[in-house]
Amino acid sequence: MGWIVGRKEQEIIKKVLEHLDVMSVELLELRKLIEKYLSHQIDDVEQLAEKVRYYEHQADIARREAETLMYSGAFLPNFRGDLLGIIESADKVGNKGEYIADILELEHPVIPEILNSQILKLFDLCVETYETLKISIKDLFEDLEKIEEHVLIVEQKEHEADGVERCLIKQIYKMDISNGHRIQLKELVRSIADIADRAEDCSDRVEIVSLKRRV
């Protein structure tokens, strides 16, 4: 796009996209962790949780580098503030991924096998929501006209995830387990669903910024 001209701006874009890509890897490692946990391969849990934390930390490094470059004066002030807001909002996805890894590693919740397939379905929908968000952020620099289409897909995926989350929680509260166990399982399910919620929150920001840039 014509308004991206300087080398510093190109460096920032590279760091923003690196930040987003590292969070994709973090979510991939989290998927492996959840799969292993659900199949009771708990010997691998600590190592996989450590990988999730490692990639969350790498994402933070990329985010801080992008922000530092922006504070040095790249981009017009209005867009700079908007982009900083988008980066901070997207970063909440990575933070939530680390939180889920901590729940599994430190709390060791007992997950009834009947929930396994729906938990994985929920997680996969959340990842699809995030990956669509990632495309829309890339389009801020490449093709503003495509953003609306991706924003709608994010909304659709988040809505699907919301439905699976509700079904899981309903199922949990029908189980013959202690109230404390129910609350623990509900917290895990809600935390997974939060990935899609946070992706949608960020997508709303992207949509507003794209509309402002097209005015």
pLDDT range class, residue 215, cuts 50, 70, 90: low
Q: How many C-beta atoms surround the C-beta of residue 146 within 10 A?
A: 14
Q: What is the pLDDT of residues 77-129, one digit of tens each?
A: 788 889 999 999 999 999 999 999 999 999 999 999 999 999 999 999 999 99
Q: What is the pLDDT of residues 25-66, one digit of tens each?
A: 999 999 999 999 999 988 889 999 999 999 999 999 999 999
pLDDT at 78: 80
Task: Report which secondary-structure segment, H or E, holds 128.
Answer: helix 116-142
pLDDT at 5: 58
Q: Quote the percentage of the chain above a pLDDT of 70.
A: 97
Alpha-helical regions (H) of 72-115: 77-102
Four-way CATH pick for 7-214: 1.20.58.220, 3.40.50.300, 1.10.12.10, 3.30.1330.10: 1.20.58.220
Domain residue ranges in the chain: 7-214
Q: Tokens at residue 48, please? A: 């996989």
3-state secondary structure of 1: coil
Put simply, whether the predicted model's pTM sits higher than 0.75 gets the answer yes
pLDDT at 1: 45
Q: What is the average pLDDT across 7-12?
A: 86
Q: What is the average pLDDT across 63-82?
A: 85
pLDDT at 2: 42
Q: What is the pLDDT of residues 188-209, one digit of tens each?
A: 999 999 999 999 999 999 999 9
Q: How far apart are CA 79 and CA 3, in angstroms?
A: 11
